[in-house]
Amino acid sequence: MDYEIAITGVPASWRIGSYSLAMRSWPLLNEHNLQDEERSLKASSLVGTSLRRVLALQVLKGPKHYDGNVQWAGVQTRYFSAIAGVERGSAQAVVASAEQQPVDAEALKRLPQGAAAQQPVVTSTLVMGVPSELDPINRFTLWFGPNEYPRLSKLGGGLDRVVDLGWNWLRPFSQLLQMVLVWLYGLVSNYGLAIVLLAVLVRVLLHPLNMMSMRSMRAMQRIQPEVERLRKKYEHDPQTMNTAVMALYKENKVNPAGGCLPTLVQMPLFFALYAVLYNSIDLRMAPFVGWISDLSAPDQFLRFGAFSVHMLPIIMALTGLVSQRLTPTDPKQLPTMYMMNVMMLVFFYNMPSGLVLYWTVMNLMTAAQQWLVMREGDHPVVGTTVAK
């Protein structure tokens, strides 16, 4: 909505320096995961070029003030927002605050059993300078709706930054992946299938890097006995030992950093994918197959009282185990690897099923690539000696 405020005919004796426009949050009744929704409730604003996001739980203790040229201010959850963008006028500051308010009886019936009778309500207050008599009109763009990047970006004024797509340097990657995900959905009309295709596409594009990393890890494992022999032989001469080990790497064409570099290159892509799959409103209440009825929430396979069994994270952990079994690893490190897989299960257990589905497909693709590397066979190890 376009919104105008005109202030005229104010006597000089009454005149003050500023007025405020407050945006307040709404009862959290619509999402499957109420706790996650409460954690995502925040007051957001763009002050100059700085994006300010303040969680409701942070300002229950007291308000936060941000002075400067405010571009917009509002309140938001993971998927929806209410924002006031300044089109014309002098914005001086924004104040983020929150309070606990009782939930009325009608609303309480819609909440899960045992839900608290109070909810946090967050307020984002835009402080505007009172316009002069010669130019008495302030103009705003008001947005009440979903955090859809394409629609918000068309409004201008930096409103698209309401959508949480990660750090500033990460946003170009996130925006591209968001567009690709929507394009894939247009082909298959199912966001679950679109996520599967996105995972396959990403893995295919990164195939050369991943194969280089896996070959390097396999080569490192292959020469490990020779490395241990050299370390034992020159254990009292560290300089000679290092020279011998580096010569061994060179003679066998092994790069010690070869297994790490591709992973570092892929990290920005992983963070961008996490931001897109976790915050994309396109996945909200989007079904996949069977019991996976909402890709924005954990899957509900079985329920025992208050405890839900999420099957997709268990499948993800099993695919991770298969991938680890095919990965060249020192036997001494296997317990650590298995423990990491258990930690991944715990970490992803309550994550949105769309994100878990993506990771599951990536595990399967990794296992397939490991199988391809193992089929290539091993080259004989070239030994080395160092003259003293």
Q: Is residue 60 in some structural domain?
A: yes
Distances (CA, A) of 117 to 50, 98, 113, 154, 357: 36, 16, 11, 39, 35
Query: Number of structural domains, the chain?
Result: 2
Same domain flag for 244 and 293: yes
Same domain flag for 153 and 202: no
- pLDDT (tens digit per residue) in 330-346: 666 667 777 888 888 99
Owner of token pair 């060249």 = 328
Same domain flag for 365 and 235: yes
Six-digit token string for 206: 């990164």
Owner of token pair 């993800």 = 316
Q: Is residue 15 in some structural domain?
A: yes
Look up the domain containing 44 and give its range.
2-164
Query: Which pLDDT score, from 0 to 100, does residue 81 have?
Result: 95
Q: Are 125 and 59 in contact, with CB atoms under 8 Å apart?
A: no
Q: Is residue 61 in some structural domain?
A: yes
Same domain flag for 94 and 144: yes
Q: Is residue 336 in some structural domain?
A: yes
Query: Which pLDDT score, from 0 to 100, does residue 387 have?
Result: 46
Q: Is residue 174 in some structural domain?
A: no
CA pair distance 200, 361, nearest whole angstrom: 7
Same domain flag for 231 and 339: yes
CA atoms in the 13 A half-sphere facing the CB of 93: 10
- pLDDT (tens digit per residue) in 13-37: 777 889 999 999 987 777 766 777 8
* 302 torsion bin: left (phi>0), alpha (psi -120 to 50), beta (else): beta
Q: Is residue 283 in some structural domain?
A: yes
Is the model's pLDDT at 321 over the cut of 60? yes
Query: In 3D, which of 105, 127, 100 has the Cα closest to residue 38?
Result: 100
Same domain flag for 149 and 210: no
Same domain flag for 213 and 341: yes
Count of helix runs (H) and strand runs (E) in the chain: 12, 12
Owner of token pair 């103009």 = 139
Give bridge partners of residue 304 from the DSSP assignment.
307
Amino acid at 243: T
- pLDDT (tens digit per residue) in 210-226: 777 777 777 777 777 77
Report CA torsion sign: 10, 16, 21, 25: negative
CA pair distance 208, 214, nearest whole angstrom: 10
Q: Are 378 and 222 in contact, with CB atoms under 8 Å apart?
A: yes
- pLDDT (tens digit per residue) in 114-172: 777 888 999 999 999 999 888 899 999 999 999 998 899 999 999 999 999 888 888 88
Same domain flag for 214 and 261: yes
Residues contacting 77, CB < 8 A, separation 6+: 25, 28, 31, 37, 40, 41, 42
Is residue 275 helix, strand or coil?
helix
Q: Are 207 and 201 in contact, with CB atoms under 8 Å apart?
A: no
- pLDDT (tens digit per residue) in 38-83: 888 999 999 999 999 999 989 998 999 999 999 999 999 989 999 9
- Please report which confidence band the pLDDT of residue 379 belongs to, taking 50, 70 and 90 as the band edges: low
Q: Which of the 8 DSSP states describes residue 49?
A: T
Same domain flag for 25 and 148: yes
- What's the order of all strands across the beta sheet hosting 2-6? 2-6, 137-146, 80-88, 70-76, 42-47, 50-55
Q: Is residue 178 in some structural domain?
A: no
Residues contacting 323, CB < 8 A, separation 6+: 363, 364, 366, 367, 370
Six-digit token string for 113: 């059993």
Lowest mean pLDDT among 57-61, 111-115, 189-193, 350-354: 111-115
CA pair distance 211, 229, nearest whole angstrom: 28
Compute the average pLDDT of residues 187-191.
95
Same domain flag for 124 and 235: no
